[in-house]
Structure 1
């Protein structure tokens, strides 16, 4: 096959319906789409280790004025490239050093990805289908959670989405502008998280072309010199600068350790079996995963459609690749997002689901409410065993989650009402807009109540201990002793190296580890809360 694929004509909007997917004007819908991502975004402390490390490195970048290099507690940080730090630093420069500003780039990235998906699907299947696709993305548990984290993953997910959409636009039309835009997005992805931003689109393209024996499409996509020049011009300068500045330390730290090393073996204890993502992926896409049953039943039709085959290749490669990786983390599977989103949206815009599938979807939404609503109670009561003494102490000392209980009960009632037989108002509209509206309300409630409680319970004492050390106004150094909480550097607004304190220095530490030291150290306890302590080391 050596001709461009026919592009489907734009479909008319679906049948009249109410709900978020149909009734709101475009600008209002875009605002509503952002609300579940922004609700409660700055209401709880930074979560260690990941949010703390990214945020502390951003603070140090701003403090140093060196925008080409990141450090963590003064030491070079090679975990990720530079782009997310630039975005976080720009946000902090505008809004101040706080949790809202540090998380805002991630929320905006997921919002932008949803708007891009809305436009792509809307052009092909109508405005309502586009809006439903966007709602899937901002209400699915995994993408929603990453949108609320001050890390690089939401940024990479946006760039993978934009790459995928423009790559398909090129494949269906043969036009070069979408291909060159895809090259630009992939180049930015290289600056956001590294080689994975090029590996995933390249593998999806290769698998799709090989499965169709379409060598011409592969040659067109890979043979445009302008696209390669765009990619190199955007990504190469920072990589060359990092190599010039750090030499083999950059190669050993970023390339070998944090890319090759993560694939060849488990890092920081994050391992798992080959079936890890078989269990994780359905959870991350709740409440929409029951729709995959419909897609599975029609897999021949999916494989026979050129575009749907591309999304299958994209999602399939990511899940298989990371299943074979030594290091396994739940959010790695979200790089399959463009493929899984488009397949889920396809299943939703088919005929109205039958009774069994509707029941499974409402049940999945109720399950999501129960999981997040009951989790604080299960953790605090000890019903779920917690092996780490610190986290057990943090949860025992946290406030009773009454607000979480009330929100969970209210959301379950809401789900039940919307799942009931059609009546007046919202309950009378078509199933898909009604279910999407319910999922939106659930995500909004969780963002306002559940996530802030968990964040405060697990991180509040660490934040307050760091602020107490800052309030002392001492010129003495503050260190992290037998622990790794990078967020304390953000709240102290200085580097807090991980080492044992010298006489006269302050140390933030864990009470359980302090008590186990032999011989007992000569320290003065200045503050203690739920297993987190601030001490001053006295003379030997």
Structure 2
């Protein structure tokens, strides 16, 4: 741990808080935009709306059925957000946005304990620019909140053991945040910290901390925090609840026939670009022989030199780095063995990856013995990615602007990437490495904010936002929404209205909806309306267009290139109708 004066610590905390506020702004910028979205958001947006309307804050209800899939705490947090900001999907998402921003602040606190203040600020600046972290900070699902609790629990552990005397208060804080995480998502909140510490202790061959951990008392505390809700649910719903918990939530996640793969190792790389390029450079540096810094190793075999380098991580001077590596490796191996492939399962590992990368970048800035190639190659690759994205984005916007007016915020994204890359290259040529890293971090934060809040919703054009606004304005909030052969559009409607939205595939089901005395809305394509449903007692309330799916892309792109995009409008767009009962 780095020791500093009280005045210095205060200024550092203010700086970290400012960074967290910037992150919150980036995560919440146009947070109502859909896409991006996750289909699981439906569960929480609608269930909590039902919860606040009925006054039953114990049993979530989704599509008129009891939902047992997750514990209750996240529902309560979303309900609180509904009370403060209104019952809509943007309010539901604010819980994740705030959790993501708090993760930035806690990462600073933890990295300062493990390393030093400069590493802490670099690490905290990297975290909101990790794609996985930025993306899930905009979704109304449990993962970002449980990631915050896991991160805070590990911070409490480090605070407890970072001095000669074990602090019992911080140890119990470790278990309290595990308990809160368990109330949010269940076993992963316990599994990830336990796997991290067990691996760290095993590598260090140090069991001396097991007794101060007060495992029995701590687990008793976790059980005491969770038992009231689980007991109440069992008393209310009996075997229906217990069978789901033991079956769908535990047995089915462990016992299945999904094939083995290295999916999660790919997630660690591609969902954390471009920073994973620097993380990879760090691992190459730490685990391969560096003969230029230690010529005496030239006489050793390659295997012995690699073994000696890896063994160096077990030294006391590297225990903080070893802790972060254990935090990444152990859960990744466990999820790989479970073989259930969801990229968001690795979200709690993102702070560790940020700290590993931040520590390495500070090492590069401080040492003249480390080869410049360890920074230059990932940096040049990052600029290459940015320039490709800037060029491709500019071409895409220039191509489609005859069809739709392009917002300034969307235009700004490729301009920001292009100009930002030129500024970063100039800083690299001048050797301003520390400022360069910070500038890269902030450029990445801005880019992801514009991508998720402006570019993605604009380019992935869809009519469901317009329809959802009309449904919320004209309806009473209880109408059922029926989509005809629209796939994922059903999920978008459910997220943005907070109402029951179903997708049907059979013509007769729409006929039944039209004949029902219950109020409702129907969404379908103009082509299907003309073919099957014009004679039904349905009236057109609104219409909008979206991209047409399917078809051969090659000939279409060639035609657009030769004749312009307006000539292919009918091949690119299709019209959707929002219908109500007459």
TM-score, normalising length: structure 2: 0.75
Give matches, 1:294-313, under 5 Å. Answer: 294-299=282-287, 300=310, 301-304=312-315, 305-313=318-326
Shift of 1:141: 1.5
Query: Are residues 1:488 and 2:476 paired?
Result: no
Query: Are residues 1:274 and 2:261 paired?
Result: yes
- Following the alignment from structure 2 to structure 1, what is the Cα–Cα distance between the partners of residues 460 and 200? 44
From 220, 230, 235, the equivalent of 1:244 is 235
- Following the alignment from structure 2 to structure 1, what is the Cα–Cα distance between the partners of residues 396 and 341? 24
Shift of 1:203: 1.8
Query: Are residues 1:504 and 2:515 paired?
Result: yes
- Following the alignment from structure 1 to structure 2, what is the Cα–Cα distance between the partners of residues 291 and 116? 22
From 479, 482, 491, the equivalent of 2:482 is 479
Q: Which moved more, 1:185-194 or 1:162-171?
A: 162-171
Show the counterpart of 1:340: 353
Give matches, 1:370-519, under 5 Å. Answer: 404=410, 406-421=412-427, 430-448=432-450, 450-456=452-458, 458=460, 460-470=462-472, 473=475, 477-481=480-484, 483=487, 485-489=490-494, 491-492=496-497, 494-496=499-501, 500-501=509-510, 502=512, 503-505=514-516, 506-511=520-525
Shift of 1:38: 3.0
Q: Which moved more, 1:524-533 or 1:253-262?
A: 524-533
Structure 2 segments unaligned to the other structure (5+ residues) = 288-309, 547-573
- Following the alignment from structure 1 to structure 2, what is the Cα–Cα distance between the partners of residues 342 and 165? 13
Residue-by-residue CA offset, 1:472-524 (whole Å, 9 max, x unaligned): 55997543455563453465454345663423354534539958999999574
Show the counterpart of 2:564: none
Residue-by-residue CA offset, 1:249-270 (whole Å, 9 max, x unaligned): 223334421444234448xxxx
Contact 1:53–1:72, Cα closer than 8 Å, also in 2: yes
Shift of 1:415: 2.0
Show the counterpart of 2:3: 10
From 26, 50, 63, the equivalent of 2:53 is 63
Shift of 1:139: 1.3
Shift of 1:75: 1.3
Contact 1:46–1:99, Cα closer than 8 Å, also in 2: no
- Following the alignment from structure 1 to structure 2, what is the Cα–Cα distance between the partners of residues 322 and 379? 38
Residue-by-residue CA offset, 1:152-210 (whole Å, 9 max, x unaligned): 11101111111222223334443322221110011011111111111111122222223
Inter-CA distance 92–336: structure 2 relative to 1 (3 Å threshold):
same
Contact 2:424–2:439, Cα closer than 8 Å, also in 1: no
Show the counterpart of 1:91: 81
3-state SS in 2 of match to 1:508:
strand
- Following the alignment from structure 2 to structure 1, what is the Cα–Cα distance between the partners of residues 255 and 404? 39
Contact 1:36–1:139, Cα closer than 8 Å, also in 2: no
Contact 1:191–1:235, Cα closer than 8 Å, also in 2: yes
Show the counterpart of 1:360: 377
Shift of 1:95: 1.2
What is the number of equivalent residue pairs in this alignment? 504
Shift of 1:56: 1.8
Residue-by-residue CA offset, 1:67-100 (whole Å, 9 max, x unaligned): 1121112211223222222112211211113443
- Following the alignment from structure 1 to structure 2, what is the Cα–Cα distance between the partners of residues 420 and 125? 30
Show the counterpart of 1:198: 190
Residue-by-residue CA offset, 1:367-411 (whole Å, 9 max, x unaligned): 5546766787899999xxxxxxxxxxxxx9876688545421332
Give matches, 1:257-268, under 5 Å. Answer: 257-265=248-256
Inter-CA distance 91–186: structure 2 relative to 1 (3 Å threshold):
same
Which of the two has higher C-alpha Rg? 2
RMSD of Structure 2 on Structure 1 (CA) = 3.9
Inter-CA distance 515–254: structure 2 relative to 1 (3 Å threshold):
farther
From 321, 335, 339, the equivalent of 1:322 is 335
Shift of 1:330: 1.6
Contact 1:141–1:286, Cα closer than 8 Å, also in 2: yes
Contact 1:40–1:449, Cα closer than 8 Å, also in 2: no
From 177, 196, 216, the equivalent of 1:185 is 177
3-state SS in 2 of match to 1:479:
strand
Inter-CA distance 9–220: structure 2 relative to 1 (3 Å threshold):
same
Contact 1:481–1:507, Cα closer than 8 Å, also in 2: no
Structure 1 segments unaligned to the other structure (5+ residues) = 1-7, 14-20, 383-395
- Following the alignment from structure 1 to structure 2, what is the Cα–Cα distance between the partners of residues 159 and 22? 23
3-state SS in 2 of match to 1:47:
coil
